[in-house]
Amino acid sequence: MNYDFKHFDEKLTAAREWLAREYKGLRTGRATPAILDGVFVSAYGSMMPLKQAANVSIEDARTLRVTPWDLGLVKDIERGITNANLGLGMVTDQSGVRVTFPELTAERRQELVKVAKAKLEDARTTVRLARDEVWKDIQEKERASELTEDDKFTLKEQMQKKVDAMNDELEKAFDAKEKEMTS
């Protein structure tokens, strides 16, 4: 009864990592440099990620400091942040751009929790699809007499334990993000 769950494990890990990346992009009211990871800047004739054109650091709880490597890129950085439509305020000074995070309203916090919940469901769907794919493969192997019926149910049990563990991890990630957004 040798069944390789490696591909299945990779899909589960990919779902967890995707959710973590998506949660990094959800603004919580606290300044986090990760929110600017999706910002692209037009510099030197091409589009590049902001982090390749500037240093992003935390100035205080609700402010980020974007210090470009070349001060000539300040206008391009402002344009890139504006085009990203993140709902952030910006002030330009002699050393770069100060990005401010406005205080979140209770209504906006509820919307963000709903978005986070939808992303959790997307990740769970990915896990379910991976589970269904593996279960179908196990059943085909049993029909082809590569596995016994006992092996099939043992493998199903192992697979379900992996799914349950991943769903618990995803739920914990959601709970942590929800707590961060509502506090």
The letter for the amino acid at 128 is: R
Distance of CA 44 to the CA centre of its chain: 29
Answer CATH for 33-100 from 3.40.1350.10, 3.30.1360.40, 1.20.1630.10, 1.10.8.420: 3.30.1360.40
pLDDT tops 90 at residue 124: yes
Q: Where in the chain are the domains?
A: 6-24+105-182, 33-100
DSSP secondary structure letter of residue 43: E
Supply the pLDDT for residue 7: 92
The angle subtended at Cα 94 by Cα 102 and Cα 64, nearest 5°, is 30
Supply the pLDDT for residue 163: 95
The letter for the amino acid at 15 is: A
What pTM value is reported for the model?
A: 0.68
